[in-house]
Amino acid sequence: MLLIACSLSDREFAQWLASQLAEHQYQTKIIHRVGQSAPDVSAALMVISPDGIAPDFSAHVIDQAKASQYPVWGLVARSVNPLPDFVAGVQLEDFTTKRDAALKRLLDGKLPSPQLQASPGSKTAQSIRTFNAARDSYLARAALKSQHTMNAYERSINLFFDFLGDRSIPQVLPIQRLRALTTGDIPLHTLSHDDEPMLAHFVRWLALPSSGKRGDKRPYRLSTIELRLAGVQHWLHFLQQDGWLPDGFSLEQAKSMARQELTKQEQPESKPPDIPDTIEEVIHYYDTQQRPKYLNKPEADPDRARRWELTRLRNRALLHSLSDTGGRISEILSLNLSNFTETTKRDVLLVEVTGKGGHTYHLHFAKSLAAIRSYIHTRGTTIGDSPLFVSHDPRYDGNRMSRVVAWRVVQRAAKALGLPNITPHDFRHWRASQLVTQGLSPDDVQDYLGHRSVETTRVYFAEAKDT
């Protein structure tokens, strides 16, 4: 087993590396933090980059390697100057330019020989195939539509592991009674006919009240339960195609039971969440945000003051865009400068985006155009393919704004105004309610918000009738 240690920002490189090593019969485990490990490690590969793994994490990896007497390599995924202190004495391999050549050098005598691979259906192969190995193999090799989908499915699998490890629920399955260091260490070949209800039990478990433990966000809405189930089923189907599931376990029967349980879990027609009446204050918070006093002093750094103003204008444009279009945060963050050229002086601008499930529709920009154009003009950027919303932090200057940062922008405004927690998606619900109040038809609102089904839109009309 090869251990790949990396930061979350280097996850894409680590997954590429794992997929390449799998083609050479290596088993891998990707870890991101102290506390994660893998059995029978033969070598550790630390991914090095400007925002790579933390010193305490790297020290942990190196100490573990010394204690277990296996080698460590440092793989430079992105240029770092100077190199971090912890790489002193660690063998380095440069992957910043020619990845294939660097991989060949690594494989040519540097790595320990891969373990002898047994045939897919043999007991030898099955005995070493744990739930953890099955998850890691899937994430390294599955052909998923996007990184966002991969992240969502990984969360689904990890949630499924939590379910398997919960022995406090009624009707514990045989697979849940097995003793193992962690749920992920359970061998796959122990799945049996008696475990076929596990997906149905997983659906039921997701709808149970929270245990009160940190991170337990149950009960989940039906739409979220369906999403988590889809992720686990996609994973199990991948394993079945690879011959990892034992013959005594029927995935089709397990899926059939899950569909029956979903029918039982169907909830009455959902209502849109209650949006605070004060959400409009959040929309306009950055319009008049005051610059910190230290930036008004004569000795203040002009570049720092300029970056602060650019960040304010960006945040202002972001909130106005979310509330004006009702777009999902992923759609808003996917926009480029080319969507808002200097020659575009119309009062209303339609921009085509790809929504959920590959569905395309148009975002309607009107009141937000002034804030967007002000931000673009102040930036002075003319490269059409550059992202519209970018970081102005010197460390990440010009990088596309992430969903995490966008959430912080919204929540920072709400907190400053003393308002309840507000998310970017709340602006979508707010906009939908505004459109209904303005008298638009269900078909028009569906088109505006890019709903694939008009039934989703009708929820807002039903709510309007009740008020």
Alpha-carbon distance of 332 to 339, in angstroms, equals: 11
Alpha-carbon distance of 202 to 261, in angstroms, equals: 10
Q: How confident is the model at residue 11 (pLDDT cuts 50, 70, 90)?
A: confident
**48: enclosing H helix or E strand:** strand 43-48
Tokens of 16: 């590429």
The amino acid sitting at 385 is D
- Neighbouring C-beta atoms of residue 257, cutoff 10 Å: 18
pLDDT at position 345: 64
Q: What is the pLDDT of residues 201-254, one digit of tens each?
A: 999 999 888 888 888 888 888 878 988 999 999 999 999 988 889 888 999 999
Residue 126 has pLDDT above 50, yes or no: no
Mean pLDDT for the chain overall: 83
The amino acid sitting at 186 is I
Residue 356 has pLDDT above 80, yes or no: no
pLDDT at position 219: 84
Residues 6 or more apart whose CB falls under 8 angstroms from that of 342 comprise none
| Torsional sign, CA 217, 184, 240, 256 | negative
The class that CATH gives domain 279-466 is mainly alpha
Q: Strand 72-76 relative to strand 28-31: parallel, antiparallel, unpaired?
A: unpaired
pLDDT at position 115: 44
Sheet order of strands, 28-31 included: 28-31, 2-5, 43-48, 72-76, 91-94
H-helix segments, 272-368:
279-283, 302-325, 329-333
pLDDT at position 302: 92
Q: DSSP of 128-144, one letter per residue?
A: H-BHHHHHHHHHHH---
Dihedrals phi, psi of 197, to nearest 5 degrees: -75, 5
Fold of the CATH domain 1-117: Rossmann fold (3.40.50)
Show me where the domains of the chain are located: 1-117, 122-267, 279-466
In this prediction the pTM is: 0.48
pLDDT at position 180: 65
Q: What is the pLDDT of residues 358-412, one digit of tens each?
A: 789 999 999 999 999 999 999 987 666 789 999 999 888 889 999 889 999 999 9
**C-alpha to C-alpha distances, 83 to 3, 13, 46, nearest whole angstrom:** 21, 19, 13
Of 279, 316, 268, give the one whose Cα is nearest residue 433. 279
Dihedrals phi, psi of 29, to nearest 5 degrees: -140, 125
Contact 106, 169 (CB under 8 A): no
- How far is residue 337 CA from its own chain's centroid? 24
Q: How confident is the model at residue 61 (pLDDT cuts 50, 70, 90)?
A: confident
pLDDT at position 453: 78
Alpha-carbon distance of 368 to 340, in angstroms, equals: 12
Residue 268 has pLDDT above 60, yes or no: no
Residues 6 or more apart whose CB falls under 8 angstroms from that of 423 comprise 407, 410, 411
Of 1, 75, 86, give the one whose Cα is nearest residue 37. 1
- How far is residue 275 CA from its own chain's centroid? 25
**C-alpha to C-alpha distances, 120 to 1, 129, 241, 362, 418, nearest whole angstrom:** 17, 10, 10, 47, 58
Selected residue with higher pLDDT from 322 and 188:
322
